[in-house]
Amino acid sequence: MSANAVRQQAIHEVTNRPLPDSSAVQPLSEIWAADVFSLAVMEESLSKNAFKAMKKTVQTGAPLDSATADVVAAAMKDWALKKGVKFFSHIFYPMTNITAEKHDGFIITSPEGNAITEFTGSLLIKGEPDGSSFPNGSLRMTNAARGYTAWDPTSPAYVMNTPNGATLMIPSVFFSWTGEALDKKIPLLRSNAAMNDAAQRVLTLMGETEIETLNSSCGAEQEYFLVDAHFAHNRPDLLLAGRTLFGAAPPKGQEFDDHYFGAIPERVQVFMQAFEDKLFRLGIPAKTHHNEVAPGQFEIAPYFEAANVAADHQQLMMTIMKTTAKEHGFICLLHEKPFAGVNGSGKHVNWSVGNSTQGNLLDPGTTPHENLNFLLFCGAVIRGAHLFGPLLRAVIASAANDHRLGANEAPPAILSVYLGDQLEAVFSDIKEGNIATSSDGGVMDLGLSQILPFTRDPGDRNRTSPFAFTGNRFEFRAVGSSQSVSGPLVAMNTMLADSLTWIADKLEAQLETGVSQLEAVAAVLKELMELHSAVIFGGDGYSSEWHTAAVEERGLRNIPTTADALPALVADDVVALFERTGVLSEVELASRYEVYAEQYILSIGVEAKLTAELATTVLYPATVEYLSDLTETAAAAASVGVELDTGPAKTIAAEANGLLGAVSDLNAALSVEDFASTEEHMQHCAGPIRARMDAVRAHADRLETMVADERWPLPKYREMLFIK
Ligand code: ADP
Ligand code: MG
């Protein structure tokens, strides 16, 4: 088939595609959490005592005894078998950004040859996949490569349905024989516990007496692209790298702003509904969906949940998005920058902390006392973001996200905090010492009571900020669309734990001097602001003035690439932070650094090799075929006495040579093998390799606009973005 025929065929298939059958519309009440082994299910199937123990574990993270585990396992098995389940799997979250599973049957055979089913507490609790096949950084050095999974009872088990079967999935942690965390869940659980410990101290000093366990919460807004499978399957770059390595910008892009919040195409709406029904069955509270800025780009945002559950649900959601898209003839792209020149995709991680007794501590509340708690917690976040900006940059670093950060569409690679005018004014008052106004010898909370009717910052909340306060939570906007939310949540919880500890120490010292609670809070927050207000920024994060001022006047760091960002994971201050909070040991951090660096190097390597290969074997041949068309046409014209202008052919020939030249430069960079350190290797990827890939692409994209459309082999941007 000629190049043209492949693209024409794809267009034909897409435009004549029937809508999937959508007859089976089910009411929410029938499907909500239907496949979840929830507390409600447990309440019905467990004894009173077992249920009580289980509920306590879910709510406070308290360990579960083995007798209860046996009871829960038996109930879980019965529940699952009734749903047609034959296999179970511990599902876990290795340091690579994916999920991992190992399926096991419930079945064992009796001596008589009958099949019986068995599932004990110990099977539920512990699995033993072979850890050696998962990247584990320096932890691989321990000769016990084995990894173990262990049930996380705080995240509900569920059943995953496939067309002819179902599997019981058990959310789990994954650790080494020596007890080191090999996954993304253990640090999240530990960071939550560290945050709780520190928060308890602060709240106790604030005179609270009844304080339930504090938990962090997360609501992630997920952006994604849908491309019809007919186009995607003819784009090896989309299939292997998740993004287009070539592609000229179409004459019409997103500049009309006609896509954002526009009517959702019917075929996409059908996909969304099917996808959301699956989420509902799994108890994932899909809440909003809409078109995004770019053509072909959409967003889904579930309602927020406890961070650990939200993180599991987020991974599950990404998996289900991809499989459901396939059923609907789409490829779902979670890559941060699938199309050059078109907005990329992020994942806004909304985060807060709270409990049932004090409520959401990042919500200002309605009494002066609640306001004080709020200001302390908010101040703690500000301190954390200022001290550990490079850590926050490191946990969102990836080859793909580098394309977004720093481009004028996504938050900059400089970590600053946006508070909104009102709250920024309050903190500036605090810094000036204006919150505790003395009158008639008494201390009044004038400044503070003024923030009581705190209005939520409306609609447009400075989209240029990477880290923004949005009324009752912080929104970490620089997170990439394909990333696990765990890394950002761990970093935020840990820096908060550390800052709350700092605050507790300072508060304690103040209170010992006999001052009032208000004076103590005012003094601590004043000191905090004097040290850390430089991180607060309400202006335009995209502007070049900010890029200069942030670095030169504020002392913040601009960290453009993953190669620059990842070393922060093993920097002295970060190691000390994680060690003193007990969230990750130095060895665990080092292994993370190694794994993420390796991922970065590997993914740039794949892209670079694919760039060279596609340029050489697909684009160059198409170009020279077209050149020979031109030569033949010129000869034919000459035979009737007409001299055709040879300009176009010459330009194309020169670009074709340029393309090959750029490919050989790229191959030369790829052949470099001796690196003194991982960091040097990453810099080689971020520098020469990336630049040379761009050079290859520049030639190819110019050729795309010169070679006859019918000769061009790869589906074009206009087709992938606009034809649904
Ligand atoms: P927006 O105005 O940005 O659309 P939404 O109210 O839709 O805001 O919230 C966006 C996300 O923030 C949702 O996932 C929502 O559940 C989440 N969210 C709201 N409150 C909190 C909170 N206290 N903690 C964490 N996430 C929250
Ligand atoms: Mg959004």
Burial state string for 24-48 with b = 16 or more CB within 10 A and e = fewer than 16: eeeeeeebebbbbbbeebbeebbee
State the distance from the centre of ligand 2 to the C-alpha of 292, rounded, in angstroms. Answer: 8
Q: Which residues lie across from 360 on neighbouring strands?
A: 354
| Ligand number nearest to the C-alpha of 220 | 1
pLDDT tens readout for residues 6-53? 788 888 888 888 777 666 788 999 999 999 999 999 999 999 999 999
Worst-scoring range by mean pLDDT, 219-228, 363-372, 503-512? Answer: 363-372
Pocket of ligand 1 (CB under 6 A): 217-219, 221, 288, 301-304, 350-352, 360, 472-473
pLDDT tens readout for residues 640-654? 999 999 999 999 999
Q: Which amino acid is at 161?
A: N
State the distance from the centre of ligand 1 to the C-alpha of 288, rounded, in angstroms. Answer: 10
State the distance from the centre of ligand 1 to the C-alpha of 489, rounded, in angstroms. Answer: 15
Q: Are 462 and 382 in contact (CB under 8 A)?
A: no
Residue 203, token pair as written in the block: 């709240």
Using the atom order of ligand 1, give the atom closest to the CA of residue 352.
24
Q: Where are the domains of the chain?
A: 32-183, 600-722
Superfamily of domain 32-183: Glutamine synthetase, N-terminal domain (3.10.20.70)
Model pTM?
Answer: 0.94
Please report, for residues 85, 101, 108, 169, 257, the alpha-carbon distance to residue 104 in angstroms, rounded to integers and kept in the order given: 11, 10, 11, 11, 50
State the distance from the centre of ligand 2 to the C-alpha of 276, rounded, in angstroms. Answer: 18
Helix (H) or strand (E) holding 350: strand 347-355
| Ligand number nearest to the C-alpha of 410 | 2
Task: Tell the CATH topology of 600-722.
Answer: Four Helix Bundle (Hemerythrin (Met), subunit A) (1.20.120)
C-alpha angle with apex 307: 305 to 310, nearest 5 degrees?
Answer: 55
Same topology between domain 32-183 and domain 600-722: no
pLDDT surpasses 90 at 493: yes
pLDDT surpasses 70 at 447: no
Residue bearing tokens 């919460």: 217
Using the atom order of ligand 1, give the atom closest to the CA of residue 219.
14
pLDDT tens readout for residues 495-505? 999 999 999 99
Q: What is the 3-state secondary structure (H, E, C) of 52-92?
A: HHHHHHHHHCCCCCHHHHHHHHHHHHHHHHHCCCCEEEEEE
Confidence at 525, pLDDT banded by 50, 70, 90: very high
Q: What is the dihedral of CA 711, 712, 717, 722, to 10 degrees?
A: 30
| Ligand number nearest to the C-alpha of 345 | 2
State the distance from the centre of ligand 2 to the C-alpha of 299, rounded, in angstroms. Answer: 7
Confidence at 403, pLDDT banded by 50, 70, 90: very high
Region 290-316 average pLDDT: 94
Q: Best substitution site from 221, 317, 353, 377 to test ligand 1's pocket, by max atoms within 8 Å of Cβ?
A: 221
Using the atom order of ligand 1, give the atom closest to the CA of residue 221.
14
